[in-house]
Structure 1
Amino acid sequence: DYPLDLNHNDTFLQATTFLPEDFTYFPNHTCPERLPSMKGPIDVNMSEITMEDIHQFFSRDPSIKLGGHWKPSDCVPRWKVAILIPFRNRYEHLPVLFRHLIPMLQRQRLQFAFYVVEQAGAQPFNRAMLFNVGFREAMKDLDWDCLIFHDVDHIPENDRNYYGCGQMPRHFAAKLDKYMYLLPYNEFFGGVSGLTVEQFQKINGFPNAFWGWGGEDDDLWNRVQYAGYSVTRPEGDTGKYKSIPHHHRGEVQYALLRKSKERQALDGLNNLNYFPNVTYDALYKNITVNLTPELALVTEY
């Protein structure tokens, strides 16, 4: 009997775009993008948990297959999503990520599996090259159509942050707690991003030349722009993430970034070589590689 104030009204409008609780699923119909099971804010639990405990918890769900492969049974998944996680020595972070991500992706009715791409050897960490390796290996398993590039220390805070792909590349982690939930700069493309397989192939994947932390996500932004795409982000607070604290120093490699355009056609998926050691966990496929600069040589430009 009284007008809703603006905040309530706004919340109500957002809520109505999601399907009602009594929505009927059909096994031969495509799963919707905005499901009643997607409630919004997630109760994030950042406390440490062992991988054994996570295995025990998810072993109660027989629908999760080897390698963390899952798909809905009550509708046809809109996207087949490969979640690629670059990794080195962050064993305490992986179970925390799975604790949040697996239930969220199930609520989103996506088909998915996890690929943990682990760097061995003494070279500096090469996040971008690991993503390229993960892509190549994932595509051997299934005709995935959506790729999520996911740092192990980024925990989503909202299950309406839909991990499907779109007509344009997607930057999911738009609001990080460590940046006071503000976008550090407009071209920021770090943390969690998503591209269709077609988009990723068109941009020639990530650059392989970025050794050490920093710059490779800016280069990916450049590649996306040069290919004629723009980047979309979740609206409002949907793109909020908590990041697990850890220590590494980022050194943006400006000399490489200045040559983004010249390098794009020469450095990426098309000059990638690697020798993987593949093992399976109940919840992910592990791809271990010893990366060296010689495995991705670039001709002069």
Structure 2
Amino acid sequence: VAILIPFRNRHEHLPILFQHLTPILQRQRLQFAYYVIEQSGTQPFNRAMLFNVGFLEAMKDLDWDCLVFHDVDHIPENDRNYYGCGQMPRHFAAKLDKYMYLLPYSEFFGGVSGLTVEQFRKINGFPNAFWGWGGEDDDLWNRVHYAGLNVTRPEGEMGKYKSIPHHHRGEVQFLGRLDGECHCTAIFRSLQRCSIGIKSGLWLGNSRTFRDLSRSRSCVVLAVCLGPLSC
């Protein structure tokens, strides 16, 4: 299982997630690795494109069975919420405390989701055009259903998550130092924007590697610069 975590200015959250999630994955006897994809530069945050970058880099390391797309501020409450993938895409974070443990709407697919490599390729990954905060999860839901797939969720108490409070200060809503826990890799890339739509996804345009340091088997940190204007 590859755990992909998009990241920017959340240095206090990452150790908390590792502290809670790592023992759960170990008790579930999963082979796993974290991929922390940190956005640098001055462009607005692009969570979706960071996931696509993380996927492409993770696939260079291993032929993963399951990809888990995990927000850094979502903490699982139940060990029985199995971090594996099945015949259909999985929405792990079905019940968030900030929503009173209820789905905010039926198409909600945010927080923590899982797809097999085959499923992720079939939907062409995440959309790349969502600069700023919000919108990409709803697009992912549409891609899943456009591909003839359905989203499954854990039953009962298993899908409960706590959300670490965070205010999106300085982050633009969608307009139309890691240490201790994770001694890993820094990879710098310059990536071009892609047009919105189903064709916008795993094709990321031209990229070039500025720096590639050593990795550990269980954790990789990707430092990514999106768009030439901010690099």
TM category, shorter: 0.7 to 0.9
For each residue in 1:60-112, what CA deviation from the matched residue of structure 2 results, as whole angstroms up to 9, or x when unmatched? xxxxxxxxxxxxxxxxxxxxx00000011111111000001111001111110
1:118–1:286 CA contact under 8 A, matched in 2: yes
Secondary structure (helix, strand or coil) at the match of 1:214 reads coil
Alpha-carbon distance in 1 for matches of 2:151, 2:205: 25
What is the alpha-carbon root mean square deviation over aligned residues?
2.0
Q: Do the aligned partners of residues 293 and 269 (structure 1) sit closer, same or farther apart at CA in structure 2, a change above 3 Å counting?
A: farther
Q: Do the aligned partners of residues 274 and 291 (structure 1) sit closer, same or farther apart at CA in structure 2, a change above 3 Å counting?
A: same
Counterpart of 1:290, as a letter, is C
Structure with bigger helix share is 1
> Could you tell me which residue of structure 2 aligns to residue 175 of structure 1?
95
Alpha-carbon distance in 2 for matches of 1:169, 1:157: 21
Alpha-carbon distance in 2 for matches of 1:133, 1:193: 16
Alpha-carbon distance in 2 for matches of 1:117, 1:275: 16
TM-score (norm 2): 0.84
Alpha-carbon distance in 1 for matches of 2:219, 2:212: 11
> Could you tell me which residue of structure 2 aligns to residue 287 of structure 1?
222
Secondary structure (helix, strand or coil) at the match of 2:166 reads coil
Equivalenced residue count is 207
Alignment partner of 1:263 is 2:197: yes
Alignment partner of 1:218 is 2:218: no
Structure with bigger strand share is 2
- Shift of residue 281, structure 1, vs aligned partner: 5.9
Matches within 5 A, 1:1-301: 81-248=1-168, 251=173, 255=176, 263-264=197-198, 266-276=199-209, 277-279=211-213, 280=215, 284-292=219-227
Alpha-carbon distance in 1 for matches of 2:72, 2:106: 23
- Shift of residue 145, structure 1, vs aligned partner: 1.7
- Shift of residue 274, structure 1, vs aligned partner: 3.5
Secondary structure (helix, strand or coil) at the match of 1:100 reads helix
For each residue in 1:220-257, what CA deviation from the matched residue of structure 2 results, as whole angstroms up to 9, or x when unmatched? 0000000000000000110000011011167455x5xx
Q: Do the aligned partners of residues 82 and 278 (structure 1) sit closer, same or farther apart at CA in structure 2, a change above 3 Å counting?
A: farther
Alpha-carbon distance in 2 for matches of 1:110, 1:272: 33
Secondary structure (helix, strand or coil) at the match of 1:217 reads helix
- Which one has a bigger Cα radius of gyration? 1
Alpha-carbon distance in 2 for matches of 1:174, 1:247: 21
Counterpart of 2:226, as a letter, is L
- Return structure 1 stretches of 4+ with deviation > 3 angstroms: 249-253, 271-283
2:81–2:159 CA contact under 8 A, matched in 1: yes
Alpha-carbon distance in 1 for matches of 2:173, 2:161: 23
Counterpart of 2:37, as a letter, is V
Fraction of identical pairs, as percent: 76
- Shift of residue 275, structure 1, vs aligned partner: 3.7
Secondary structure (helix, strand or coil) at the match of 1:263 reads coil
2:127–2:139 CA contact under 8 A, matched in 1: yes
